[in-house]
A and B are shown apart, each in its own frame.
Chain A
Amino acid sequence: MTAGYTADEMMAVTASRALRDGMTCFVGIGLPSEAANLAQATHARNLVLIYESGTIGAKPGALPLSIGDGILAETADTVVSVPEIFNYWLQPGRIDVGFLGAAQIDRFANINTTVIGQDYNEPKVRLPGAGGAPEIAASCREVIVVVRQSLRAFVEKVDFVTSVGFGDGPGCRERLGLTGAGPRKIITDLGVLEPDPVSLELALTGVCPGVSVSAVKAATGWELSVSASLKELPPPTTAELAALRRLRTATPATEGATR
């Protein structure tokens, strides 16, 4: 890390910049939660964080380990039941952006978090499964995916479609009745991929400082096209890095240990 920051820190900062102030954001745990909390701590103070545990408007101030840590409930505007968070809040398309991770992602941004291997009944690796992701991917107005880039993760075709990106290409989301627009950005530790406006296939639109296009291609399991307007992503600012490191080291306040 000669640049004074790590690839993971660059990824978190890039992801946080994809969120605008005042947005409502459905947040998965892990990398997405880190990026969303960083955005709230820096340029997007009024970002509304919504976790599938039913906490709406959480302001944890430190990274929760789970989507149900007490700090989320204590700092939320309101806490609703699990059926309600999915039925009343996510399903009608009230939420601007869904922030997801992936174990595998393909050229049409379909996501697999279920099994690795062709045979569902005899998987090579059993992954956690769907959680809230299929409906987040279907119903949020748009989706951002944060995932480390490698040949293992970026595959021609996912082994199992847990969450639909653009299916098999143009027209698919409409045919399936998916109300949200689908993935807008795939943010990785090497750069940013975005769907081509016509083919909807993911194309490289940004590279992290010091990362070559050939390095990104070498970590992608299909013939990756490169946007004509490819840019180098701006490195993290001192303030962003400081905020991120503060988030990572902060211990969530002990929740509700008094009656």
Chain B
Amino acid sequence: MAEIVSLAEAVALAIHDGDTVAMEGFTHLIPHAAGHEVIRQRRRDLTLVRMTPDVIYDQMIGAGCARKLVFSWGGNPGVGSLHRFRDAVQHSWPGPLQLEEHSHAGMANRYVAGASGLPFAVLRGYSGTSLALHAPNIAEIACPFTGETLTAVAALRPDVTVIHAQRADRAGNVQFWGITGVQKEAVLAARQSVVTVEEVVEVLDPRPGAVVLPTWTVGYVAAVPGGSHPSYAMGYSSRDNDFYIAWDAISKDRDTFSRWLDEHVHGTGPDGRVTHDPALSGGGAQ
């Protein structure tokens, strides 16, 4: 059964130094507030897993939380590069960052294998690319029925998966809809999970296309309205595209980034409330 706690408690209880942590949300429902709380609690040596380590992991990498990144696309969507990610890879700032990179199809299938309790997943992928030369958990496999050569990818089993959802009820059942990404698989693949939600309601009325994670599949639920900003929660907020564009300049320079971090993350309370400055970010969350 999920425990309903504060975000600060959830992070303190679930995420430890050295853990493998997956924070998922495909453009939509990215758990930014939880990322900020991990930064505030100064977690170190994390292996961060995420298909699209966009602004959220740029912040966590720049803040020194990560030792290793497992990913498939590391950019600021529609804007350009992730400067903190690049600085870590190219100049080891604030520390060296190990990389393990895949394709989206590979990462998605790795979560599927983890959720399915299988050691690996099979797909048509990676053939002829250089990706397999650099990641140890991609291998050729022969189909036992046809002999065809396919690709196996090792299961992902994060210590903790963190997601943001629209709602939970008081029993800790979680519901999210819109672009639901890979969050269901990521939660089911992990040993522990933290779900931040826009609101805790009495009753989860059915929604078209909604994913429901029963309370017994979830570790901790924390109410964090606006907790995905500058990402969005369909039905609650809009994607703050202006913030993503502004992030390019904020993150380009180490000092500007560090000042932003001090002011907007370290400088805010540990209660898990939204930590962004609406004046700076265009106030997209509501």
Contacts and interface: CB of A to CB of B under 8 A. Distances in A.
Interface of A: 29-30, 52-55, 64-70, 72-74, 78-79, 81-83, 86-87, 90-91, 114, 120, 123, 125-135, 138-139, 160-164, 167, 172-173, 176-179, 254-259
Interface string B60-85: 00000000000111110111011001
B27 A53 contact: yes
Contacts of A254: 238
A91 B81 CA distance: 28
Nearest to B245: A65
B130 to A, nearest CB: 5
Interface string B146-175: 001100000000000000000000000000
Contacts of A129: 71-75, 101
For chain B, the bracket of interface size reads 35 or more
B73 A83 contact: no
B103 A70 contact: no
A138 B150 CA distance: 13
B131 interface: yes
B103 A172 contact: no
B78 A64 contact: yes
B27 A69 contact: yes
A161 B111 contact: no
Contacts of A70: 28, 178, 232, 234, 238-239
A161 B182 contact: no
A187 to B, nearest CB: 20
Contact of B179 (A30, A53, A134): A53
Given A65-B241, A130-B73, A73 B90 contact: no
B275 interface: no
A220 B185 CA distance: 44
Contact of A130 (B102, B148, B182): B102
A128 B128 contact: no
